Amino acid sequence: MDCTDILDKYPILKKIGLIADELNLPTYVVGGFVRDFFLKRKRQKFDIDIVSVGSGILLAKTVAARLGIGKQVSVFKNYGTAMVRYGNIELEFVGARKESYSKDSRNPIVEGGTLEDDQNRRDFTINAMAINLNKNSIGNLVDPFHGLNDLNRRMIRTPLDPFITFSDDPLRMMRAVRFASQLNFDIDPDTFDGIIKNKNRIKIVSRERISQELNKIILSDKPSYGFQLLYHSELLELIFPEFTALQGVENINGKGHKDNFYHTLKVLDNVANKSSDLWLRWAAILHDIAKPATQRFDEKSGWTFHGHEEIGARMVPGIFKRLKLPLNEHMRFVQKLVRLHLRPIALVSDEITDSAIRRLLFEAGNDTDKLMMLCKADITSKNPEKVKKYLRNFAKVEKKLEEVEEKDKIRNFQPPVTGEEIMNTFGLKPSRLIGEIKNEIKEAILEGKIENDHQQAFGYMMFIGEKLGLTVVTNEKK
């Protein structure tokens, strides 16, 4: 198959081919770049993999020198690779190689090889296609495993025996699911069977690498598909058991609860339809994570999950830590939304006080809009009238939030009177009392006793001081 159109679109590839001819190096563009070119898929990261039968490092250095960017070469001798930055393109050069693996490591023993050896070591047929860059066969597609056919069939398949492929490098199991989820492809039955048989090999893969693939699945257009593949391959139970614990419906006396696993996947997809925010999607995944721990049955009220939002919020740091996700503001954001995700629906009543609205605004702060997005995504009823009713209720809540915020400016507010001002006014040293006074001022604002205003807050501080028997320090005493 002639693929010279890819070279016309990317002239840098022709330049590499000419230099490769001078060095007498058979050279090819391979991997994801080729796959996405055939799929007409826009790449988030503009990186191109170049394989030469010989020294990839020599080719990289020569290309960089000819382009006048010799200092922009990063060489990794241990792996026989080199990376060149050319404008917004990352060119990664590697010598064709073959690999062998030991049982306890996914790090291969590498030695030089042919193009065939290099294609044999690739993870999937759709990533094993190569296009020749040399003048005598420029643009020729080398596709020994019929990857182009698998692209047309929308199929993920390993080039060689899937059992050996996944046993050698178990991370490929996560990558199979990731590509299926990102591309909306099926996984070949034999390949999927190879994942199931090798599932326990995932234990030798670092948590960081697993989470990188998991996050890419979460960021796909319909992440529920990837999670269902992980679930049915039994990988999910090994990497994220809290999630699989949500699965199942229990019935007592004819009363059953919804399957919280599939409900959560629906919420995740609903959020994904509205936002590409990874951490908002994580909040969707974890919003009901404590339901198994809080599940109770009562003859009168049926199934209950009291306190699952608070217990779920407490579970978030442990899950993030185990999965090697960041324990920073992203974790705190997820924790906040898990804790607050039931609050807006409780504010639907026409008799709800401004105080309750102010408290939600204060606690959610700048994340109020994302909290409301999660709450609306949490409506997964199959009854369209029920969905419309809930959405109307949330519209009322959003209107109240806007009205109170416009009037009181509560989002992210800090008590208008500072701790230093309290100390200077009453001649106090730093102590718990300062925090208690600040908190009482905050509560007065949230309850609507005073406005979010310095003058009123200062007056209320004086009232608190008088109540506590504090003496105002005059300028002379200062």
What local confidence, expressed as pLDDT, does residue 64 receive?
93
Q: Tell me, what's the pLDDT at 214?
A: 98
Write down the architecture of domain 4-153 according to CATH: 2-Layer Sandwich (3.30)
- As given in the structure block, the two tokens for residue 60 are 């990289």
pLDDT single digits (tens) 115-135? 998 899 899 999 999 999 999
For 5, which DSSP code?
H
Distance from C-alpha of 28 to C-alpha of 213, rounded to nearest angstrom: 27
> What integer pLDDT is reported at residue 264 of this predicted model?
97
Give phi and psi for 256, each to the nearest 5. Answer: -125, 160
Q: pLDDT tens, 256-297?
A: 678 899 999 999 999 999 999 999 999 999 999 999 999 888
Residue 473 has pLDDT above 70, yes or no: yes
Closest by alpha carbon to 446, among 409, 393, 397?
A: 409
> For residues 48 and 56, what is the distance between their CA atoms, to the nearest angstrom?
13
At 366, the amino acid letter reads N
Other beta carbons within 10 angstroms of residue 340's beta carbon come to 21
pLDDT in the model for residue 311: 96
pLDDT in tens, 188-227: 999 999 999 999 999 999 999 999 999 999 999 999 999 9
Percent of the chain that is helix, strand, coil (3-state, to 5): 55, 10, 30
- Extents of the domains making up the chain: 4-153, 155-239, 419-467
Mean pLDDT, the chain, whole residue set:
89
Q: Parallel, antiparallel, or unpaired: how do β-strands 27-30 and 130-132 relate?
A: antiparallel
Q: How far is CA 132 from the centre of its chain?
A: 36
Enter the tokens of residue 13.
């590839």
Beta bridge partners of 297: 303
Give the mean pLDDT of 61-72.
89
CA gap 234, 195 in Å, rounded:
9
pLDDT at 104 (0 to 100): 66
DSSP 112: E
Q: What's the pLDDT tens digit per position in 20-56? A: 999 999 999 999 999 999 998 887 778 999 999 999 9
Same fold, 4-153 and 155-239: no
Interval 68-112: pLDDT, tens: 887 788 998 877 899 999 888 899 999 998 766 666 665 666 667
Per-residue model confidence (pLDDT) at position 415: 73
Which residue matches tokens 């949330």? Answer: 394
pLDDT at 478: 44
> End-to-end distance of the chain based on CA atoms, in angstroms?
89
- Give the per-residue pLDDT at 390: 80
Q: In CATH, what is the architecture of 155-239? A: Orthogonal Bundle (1.10)
Long-range CB contacts (< 8 A, 24+ apart) of 342-347? 342/309, 343/371, 344/371, 344/372, 344/375, 344/394, 344/397, 345/375, 345/390, 345/393, 345/394, 345/397, 347/397, 347/400
Q: Band of the pLDDT at 180, cuts 50, 70, 90? A: very high
* More confident: 161 or 477: 161
The pLDDT value recorded for residue 475 is 56
pLDDT at 176 over 80: yes
404 pLDDT band (50/70/90 cuts)? confident
Confidence of residue 476 (pLDDT cuts 50, 70, 90): very low
